[in-house]
Amino acid sequence: MGRVDGKVVLISGGARGMGAEEVGLFAREGARVVFGDILDDLGQQVETEQRALGHDVAYAHLDVTSEADWQSIVALAEERYGLLDALVNNAGISISAGGGAGNIAMEDTSVDDWDRVMDINSKGVFLGTKAAIPALRRAGGGSIVNISSIAGMTGAWSRSHPYNASKGAVRLFTKATAIQHAAEGIRANSVHPGPIMTPMSESTYADPEVAAQRLALVPLGRRAHPIEVAYGVLYLASDEASFVTGAELVIDGGCIAQ
Ligand code: NDP
């Protein structure tokens, strides 16, 4: 018996990184998974791989900044599987100066940088939630898991201002969702990963000096594998977390405990 047997789960940014890991884990644990991304070739590849394993998954194009894309992917989930039980708002971007410490100084941050990061990381979560709430309500309740970051809880020399701001917005938006929809049986929680081995952070960690500086700040002394975050997301989406809402799950190797 899987931990999310028969549940219908929608995951954004599922073509690679943590999102792709979550697609695989949820499917292994018995869920039917609809997932979207802007990287259609990769997304279709993940779909093919998962189906070859006998998993019931469906990929569709989803730009999280598009309200119309969100409406269609939620409709796809309901048409294909009859209902929606859970939403994982995972898609996100980080901006960096490229190859260096990964941060961009305030004076070098353009209005376009700010808008792009806020659009994808914050507005994307709002639009996903807005589209999913009526479907979760029709299902009689459900779970929303928003991927924030430790950057949504603390500032750091190594991060850009808009990234911190966008992830902080996700943290509080999650609590507003939890409170406003608790009476409908809809739970909402945020996950706050520390450094994880995904394509997003590869260019930063490719520089051994920067990697050493960053890892020195991690009590467990390493970056995590995406599965170590996916298990937390699975827990929050599942019925095991039936009394958990408005909570923050930090998965960061001890970074913000110090
Ligand atoms: P990845 O870049 O590996 O994966 C994110 C996926 O989201 C990519 O496929 C990306 O495509 C996609 N995406 C970007 N923009 C959009 C959009 N507009 N609509 C739909 N999909 C989009 O990153 P991670 O797996 O590392 O990140 C997953 C989440 O975890 C993000 O929210 C990130 O901020 C967060 N996080 C990551 C940490 C880390 O150390 N990796 C730490 C803390 C939080 P594209 O490549 O085109 O951008």
- From the list 59, 81, 163, 231, the catalytic residue is 163
Question: Distance between CA atoms of 228 and 55, rounded to whole angstroms?
Answer: 21
Whether 203 maps to a domain, the answer reads no
Whether 130 maps to a domain, the answer reads yes
CA of 18 to the centre of ligand 1 (A): 8
Whether 216 maps to a domain, the answer reads no
Residue 253 reports pLDDT greater than 50? yes
Residue nearest to atom 4 of ligand 1 (CA): 17
Percent of the chain residues topping a pLDDT of 70: 97
Domain count across the chain: 1
Give the torsion sign (CA, 46, 50, 52, 57). Answer: negative
Q: What is the pLDDT of residues 205-224, one digit of tens each?
A: 988 998 999 999 999 999 99
User: Which class for 56: exposed (0-12), middle (13-18), buried (19 or more C-beta within 10 A)?
Assistant: middle
Whether 115 maps to a domain, the answer reads yes
Q: Which residues contact 60 (CB under 8 A, 6 or more apart)?
A: 34, 35, 36, 72, 73, 76
Whether 44 maps to a domain, the answer reads yes
Whether 210 maps to a domain, the answer reads no
Whether 256 maps to a domain, the answer reads no
Q: For residue 123, what is the domain's CATH number? A: 3.40.50.720
pTM passes above 0.95: yes
- Six token digits for residue 77: 């989930």
Domain containing 184 equals 8-193+227-242
Is 163 part of the annotated catalytic residue set? Answer: yes
The predicted structure's pLDDT at residue 1: 87
Residue nearest to atom 32 of ligand 1 (CA): 92
Q: What is the pLDDT of residues 60-112, one digit of tens each?
A: 999 999 999 999 999 999 999 999 999 999 999 998 654 444 578 888 899 99
CA of 124 to the centre of ligand 1 (A): 12
Taking CB atoms and a 6 Å cutoff, what residues make up the pocket around ligand 1? 12-13, 15-19, 37-39, 62-65, 90-94, 120, 147, 149, 193, 195-196, 198-201
Secondary structure of residue 101 in the 3-state scheme: coil
Closest-lying ligand 1 atom to the alpha carbon of residue 197: 41
Whether 204 maps to a domain, the answer reads no
Residue 22 reports pLDDT greater than 80? yes
